[in-house]
Structure 1
Amino acid sequence: MHGEEEDVFDSVTWESASAPYDVDHTAMQAGPGFKQSTAGAEEPHGPHDPKWEGYLITIVKDPVKELPETKDAYVSYLVAAKTNLPIFSSQTPSARRRFQDFVFLRDHLVKDFPACVVPVLPDKHRLEYITGDRFSPEFMERRRLELHRFLQRIARHPMLQRSTLLRAFLESTEWHVYMHQHLAHPPGPEPAPGLIDNISDTLLNAFARVRKPDERFLEMRESVDKFEDGLVLSERLWNRIRGRTNDLMTDYHDLAVAVQGLGFLESGITDPLNHFSNTLLEFSALLRHKTQTSTDPFLVHLHSLLTYSHANRAVLKLRDQKQLDFEELSDYLSGVTLERDRLSAIISGHAGSSGLGLSAYLKDKVDAIRGADDDRSRVEKMRKLDIKIKELQDAVTTAHETSDAFSDETLREQKIFQHTKEAEMKEMLSNLADGEIEFYQSAIDEWDRIIPIIQRIRVDV
């Protein structure tokens, strides 16, 4: 795996047909969110259906504090994977990475694949960094789980799972060298827009709206809105349940102390009351255990799924931006063409045929005052406008092709997001149900043991 030079990573052709190789169906089903592309007998692929070339199962584990007792201390995580994708040099790649490496991976996947829904990394929790608690076992485990979920979402994506950057992240022994090479030679370099361009685009797009919205994407946005509203409502509800469960936990603990005190007063039934008190304490501990192992992870996963949906919303917004660019360029081209036709009409002696109204009339008057209303000036303007029209026509064609291509990719991304969302919700709700079943089963066992003891209590009045 590590024998080859790390600066050589073959590019991947995304639309290439999958290489024929034997696949273990049992292992493939173990890959969460993976959908076999060769099972198309019952599910024929549409033009916007995602196509998986294999499976990639990742795990983030074993957080370790590196360089302890120094100012450069950090936490590294073991990243391991199991895959049958042919681009990997090993079926079980692994490497140690720190949080900044995950940040680099995420930032550059967003740049390299702008049409893909790249999951969001967990917050940096700056308070923990300031207080020094970022090396506590609880914080490291919480961060490990969030990074595991982040990498799992990337591994489920049929395009991102085959990116050369992810391959290097999982198996490169010279990751820092590869990062510098990636920065020096990005896959698709684009010229950085100037400050004026950024300001004008911001002001233009702050008030612009797509004039011919696509019904498909309107339905997608409505579906995303409903999904996020459901997540927010569920998160609010479960936070309330968590708070009331903590209140119940405290109440049962206080009741246990009170029953134990009653046992000291009632000497004839001290032993049964002590058993009852212990059961109340055990039930309070079960409530605490359920909150820590079931409710809290469920709430964290809910919030993580909400941020993932925000990333999906950002892709939909970017698609609208591509369509808006096409519409604005088309309008600009139409305006320049009309101006060129107006000048041509004036030169040919048909000034009234332009029909551009008050604005054209005022422009002609201004040109007359400046002395730029002679035919020679108009011919020069027409020549410049012809050049601009040719440039705008090329730009409009490119913008139209980009908008259509981005729309197709967005349709494909929505199906990928739907697959991932369904897999995660199944996992999330299954874990919640398992936690609830474990809690109630343990509670039933505890109460079944104490009920006969309570029933044997006899009090002489």
Structure 2
Amino acid sequence: MADSGSEDIAVIGNTDLTPSESENNLKNTMVETGTSLLKKMEISVAEAEKRTGKNAVNMQETYTVYLIETRPVDAASEGTNPVPDSLWRRYSEFELLRNYLLVTYPFLVVPPLPEKRAEFVWHKLSADNMDPDFVERRRVGLENFLLRVASHPVLSSDKIFYSFLTEENGWKETVFETGFQAKADSRLKALNATFRVKNPDKRFADMKHYGDELQSVISQLLRVRARAADRLYGVYKVHGNYGRVFSEWSAIEKEMGDGLQSAGHHMDAYAASVDDILEEEEHYADQLKEYLFYADALRAVCRKHELTQYELEMAALDLTSKKQQREELATGTIRTFSLKGMTSKLFGQETPEQREAKLNMLETQIEEGEELVKERNAECDEFVKSAWVDIERFKEQKDHDLREALISYAIMQISMCKKGIQVWNNAKECFSKM
């Protein structure tokens, strides 16, 4: 693995690893060598199973569940191989876990889940979310998600995450008891913050823009790949016509028949191989899709910072307003137009006792406002500090992962081209022997 100094880094798998790297690379997904949970526990999503049952509105439905297996790492190092603890989870439970993490750790780039329905696929591949090939790719993606979280220096220590892995019954109730849903900010509130922050942090504004650009670039790349896969599928299948024609031709030839028949078999095998090739390619596309969804997670952190900044600015603005009211009340001078000021002019000034009571109330509100601004400042500073540390960690992870994924994809393309050359070399030998 790439040396990252004193920090450990999570990586996704590739097909060009040294033996020591391959040993650490779990099922061609992400693995990380330095976090506490993965030092203590092996985690895998071993299989998927289709089930039928009744949903919340008492209607029959078919759904998929995934078997999560965990095993103590110490047992493997001691030479024993105990039966792993296991439990089944639905995709919706993975979604609930991630929503909890998003709300509880708004300053972290929370790993994304694999897509719920297939997108950016070549047209011959089924987009049905119950299709076995898609379910298998999603199983790998869900395992990758668990390993991403388990490798994270903060998320890996979360008790709810641990119970998700180890407690099949009562887990949902435990999540809801945390009250995380009540803490979730509304979309309208977040949108309001986006448009009304007066002094946005340039670093977060730039990072939010980068998230938009990253998502756009990867979307375009995936569309190009899907179109190229469509054309590649057509080219391979057309080679099946070579095979058919050579076989038909061989039937009318005596001297050339065997050579033509053999060449036809090579072409048929070449045409049939495209399905496995494009299925393998889809796994590399899934690695790119992960960062398509990671861009959303990155932008979510930036939006949360905007909301934190907005709340600070609103508290400071309210405090300034209260201090101005106190000054106006103490001096009897109205600096700004207000309905209250007009009422005083029309119906007379307040009595000294009323003014004193209002001054006392304003003093109390100002003290509370100053404390609130102090708290908001501390929250904002802490958010910036924690978020930026995690964003830097994410950037290092992203650079490593995408580099490895693109290299692996290039290696696969080179291998595919070599197979094509070999097929035509074989055909050439067949023709030479005629």
TM-score (structure 2 length as normaliser): 0.77
1:200 and 1:243 map into 2 onto residues whose CA distance is 41
Superposed counterparts of 1:139-218, under 5 Å: 139-172=134-167, 175-184=168-177, 186=178, 201=189, 204-205=192-193, 207-211=195-199, 213-218=200-205
2:386 and 2:134 map into 1 onto residues whose CA distance is 37
2:360 and 2:417 map into 1 onto residues whose CA distance is 83
Cα gap change, 1:182/1:453 in structure 2, threshold over 3 Å: closer, same or farther?
closer
Cα gap change, 1:338/1:330 in structure 2, threshold over 3 Å: closer, same or farther?
same
1:54 and 1:123 map into 2 onto residues whose CA distance is 25
Q: CA offset at residue 413 of structure 1?
A: 1.4
1:257 and 1:219 map into 2 onto residues whose CA distance is 58
Q: SS of the counterpart of 2:106?
A: coil
Give the corresponding residue for 1:300: 286
Q: CA offset at residue 426 of structure 1?
A: 4.7
Give the corresponding residue for 1:382: 359
Pairwise CA RMSD of aligned residues?
3.8
1:84 and 1:390 map into 2 onto residues whose CA distance is 54
* Contact 2:68/2:87 (<8 A) preserved: yes
Q: CA offset at residue 377 of structure 1?
A: 3.9
* Contact 1:58/1:82 (<8 A) preserved: yes
Cα deviations by residue, 1:234-291 (Å, 9 ceiling, x for unpaired): 2122122112112212322233333434444555533322222222222222333211
1:191 and 1:287 map into 2 onto residues whose CA distance is 50
2:69 and 2:170 map into 1 onto residues whose CA distance is 20
* Contact 1:120/1:308 (<8 A) preserved: yes
Give the corresponding residue for 1:339: 325
Give the corresponding residue for 1:325: 311
Cα gap change, 1:380/1:93 in structure 2, threshold over 3 Å: closer, same or farther?
farther
Q: CA offset at residue 324 of structure 1?
A: 1.7
1:199 and 1:165 map into 2 onto residues whose CA distance is 25
Q: CA offset at residue 208 of structure 1?
A: 0.7
1:124 and 1:243 map into 2 onto residues whose CA distance is 23
Q: Does 1:239 align with 2:239?
A: no
Counterpart amino acid of 2:366? I
1:230 and 1:83 map into 2 onto residues whose CA distance is 41
Cα deviations by residue, 1:143-186 (Å, 9 ceiling, x for unpaired): 312211221221221111121122222233xx3234324433x2
Cα gap change, 1:210/1:154 in structure 2, threshold over 3 Å: closer, same or farther?
farther
Give the corresponding residue for 1:405: 382
2:37 and 2:142 map into 1 onto residues whose CA distance is 24
* Contact 1:79/1:96 (<8 A) preserved: yes
Counterpart amino acid of 1:338? Q
* Contact 2:70/2:84 (<8 A) preserved: yes
1:279 and 1:237 map into 2 onto residues whose CA distance is 29
Give the corresponding residue for 1:11: none
Aligned length: 393
Match of 2:391 among 414, 428, 444: 414
1:181 and 1:95 map into 2 onto residues whose CA distance is 19
2:202 and 2:21 map into 1 onto residues whose CA distance is 40
Match of 1:256 among 240, 243, 265: 243
Between the aligned residues of both structures, percent identity stands at 21
Match of 1:450 among 400, 423, 427: 427
* Contact 1:329/1:392 (<8 A) preserved: yes
Cα gap change, 1:72/1:246 in structure 2, threshold over 3 Å: closer, same or farther?
closer
Q: SS of the counterpart of 2:218?
A: helix
Q: CA offset at residue 134 of structure 1?
A: 5.7
1:443 and 1:198 map into 2 onto residues whose CA distance is 54
Q: Does 1:102 align with 2:94?
A: yes
Q: SS of the counterpart of 1:217?
A: helix
Q: CA offset at residue 392 of structure 1?
A: 1.3
Q: SS of the counterpart of 1:176?
A: coil
Counterpart amino acid of 1:111? V
1:344 and 1:382 map into 2 onto residues whose CA distance is 8
2:422 and 2:174 map into 1 onto residues whose CA distance is 61
Match of 1:396 among 356, 373, 389: 373
Give the corresponding residue for 2:264: 277
1:372 and 1:268 map into 2 onto residues whose CA distance is 120
Give the corresponding residue for 1:41: none
* Contact 1:290/1:436 (<8 A) preserved: no
Cα gap change, 1:274/1:53 in structure 2, threshold over 3 Å: closer, same or farther?
closer
Superposed counterparts of 1:55-134, under 5 Å: 55=39, 57-66=42-51, 71=60, 74-81=63-70, 94-99=85-90, 100-125=92-117
Q: CA offset at residue 331 of structure 1?
A: 1.4
* Contact 1:94/1:170 (<8 A) preserved: no
TM-score (structure 1 length as normaliser): 0.73
* Contact 1:344/1:382 (<8 A) preserved: yes
Give the corresponding residue for 1:366: 343
Q: SS of the counterpart of 2:86?
A: strand
Counterpart amino acid of 1:413? D
Q: SS of the counterpart of 2:46?
A: strand
Counterpart amino acid of 2:287? H
Unaligned runs of 5+ in 2: 1-19, 75-80, 119-127
* Contact 1:80/1:93 (<8 A) preserved: yes
* Contact 2:113/2:142 (<8 A) preserved: yes
Q: CA offset at residue 326 of structure 1?
A: 0.7
* Contact 2:100/2:180 (<8 A) preserved: no
Cα gap change, 1:199/1:388 in structure 2, threshold over 3 Å: closer, same or farther?
farther
* Contact 1:156/1:420 (<8 A) preserved: no
Cα deviations by residue, 1:279-333 (Å, 9 ceiling, x for unpaired): 2222222333211212x22223322221122112101210121112111211121
Cα gap change, 1:310/1:92 in structure 2, threshold over 3 Å: closer, same or farther?
farther
2:286 and 2:182 map into 1 onto residues whose CA distance is 39
Q: CA offset at residue 119 of structure 1?
A: 2.5
Cα gap change, 1:94/1:103 in structure 2, threshold over 3 Å: closer, same or farther?
farther
1:324 and 1:249 map into 2 onto residues whose CA distance is 57
